[in-house]
């Protein structure tokens, strides 16, 4: 059976006989295992919360260039300490019943037991490059989600605002370590000595 997923109208079409299923009718009813099977078998970026799936937009060239520029810097930083940094797509379990797909995930110890093969159970640092289709997903919703997951540091790169925001976990909520703009360097509290030039990140090509 060949199944085609059309994300614009959230339909599944079975090509053999034209059967169509409107995924909107299933929102709130998806199980965690169904979500995992769906994402195991597709290249789509899909996030999951309490039975609801959300298809994310395909990254743009600018998004990917910024993402990979930061990835290279972080990989250089953590390689000497035995850490591991990966890029999307890779699922991160916030808690049972909720999954996100951060642009970058990092652990300071490559043998961290949270680093599982099918999905990670946590991270030490995550990065999101803000998507213009829904900025609040990265700047509001995921702030709550990554705090819930207990991730010590969250970087938000916002190309439209031309800022890099670094959040650090204090108790159960994030505090702002800094909102860094052009002409400044964004620094990490978690990774001692790690900083990036905001201009270099935003102008990566």
Q: Looking at the domain covering 61-202, what would its CATH class be?
A: alpha beta
Q: Which pair of tokens denotes residue 9?
A: 């109208």
Percent of the chain at pLDDT exceeding 70: 92
Spell 68-95 as b/e; 16+ CB within 10 A means b. ebbbebbbebbeeeebbbbbbbbbbbbe
Decide: residue 104, CB within 10 A, 0-12 exposed, 13-18 middle, 19+ buried. buried
pLDDT exceeds cutoff 50 at 7: no
Question: Rounded to whole angstroms, how far apart are CA atoms 9 and 84?
Answer: 37
Output the pLDDT for position 157.
Answer: 98
What's residue 14's pLDDT? 66
- The confidence score (pLDDT) of residue 8 equals 45
Residue whose token pair is 């019943």? 97
Task: Report CA-CA distances (Å) from 193 to 107, 139, 152, 154.
Answer: 16, 25, 16, 17
Domain ranges across the chain: 3-55, 61-202
Residue 24 has a pLDDT of 74
pLDDT(6) > 60 = no
d(CA 142, CA 126): 10
Q: Which of 168, 34, 52 is nearest to 100 (CA)?
A: 52
Q: What is the pLDDT of residues 78-95, one digit of tens each?
A: 988 999 999 988 999 999
Question: Residue 1: its pLDDT value, please?
Answer: 36
pLDDT tens for each residue of 24-58: 777 877 888 888 888 888 877 888 888 888 888 88
**Lowest model confidence (mean pLDDT) among 45-54, 150-159, 179-188:** 45-54
pLDDT for residue 186: 98
Q: What is the pTM of this model?
A: 0.85
151 closest CA partner among 183, 107, 110: 107
Contact in structure between 119 and 95 (CB atoms under 8 Å): no
Nearest to 70 by CA among 27, 119, 103: 103
């Amino acid at each position: 059976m060949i199944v085609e997923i059309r994300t614009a109208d959230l339909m599944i079409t079975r090509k053999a006989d034209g059967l169509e299923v409107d995924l909107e009718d299933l929102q709130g009813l998806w199980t965690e295992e169904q979500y995992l099977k769906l994402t195991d078998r597709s290249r789509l970026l899909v996030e999951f919360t309490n039975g609801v799936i959300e298809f994310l937009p395909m990254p743009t060239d600018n998004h990917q260039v910024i993402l990979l520029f930061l990835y290279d810097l972080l990989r250089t930083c953590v390689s000497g300490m035995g850490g591991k940094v990966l890029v999307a797509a890779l699922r991160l379990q916030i808690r049972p019943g909720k999954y996100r797909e951060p642009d970058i995930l990092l652990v300071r110890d490559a043998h961290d037991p949270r680093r599982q093969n099918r999905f990670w159970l946590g991270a030490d640092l995550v990065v999101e490059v803000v998507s213009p289709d829904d900025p609040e997903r990265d700047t509001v919703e995921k702030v709550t989600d990554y705090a819930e997951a207990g991730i010590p540091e969250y970087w938000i790169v916002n190309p439209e605002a031309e800022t890099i925001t670094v959040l650090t976990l204090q108790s159960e909520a994030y505090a702002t370590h800094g909102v860094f703009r052009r002409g400044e360097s964004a620094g990490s509290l978690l990774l001692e000595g790690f900083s990036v030039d905001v201009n270099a990140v935003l102008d990566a090509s």
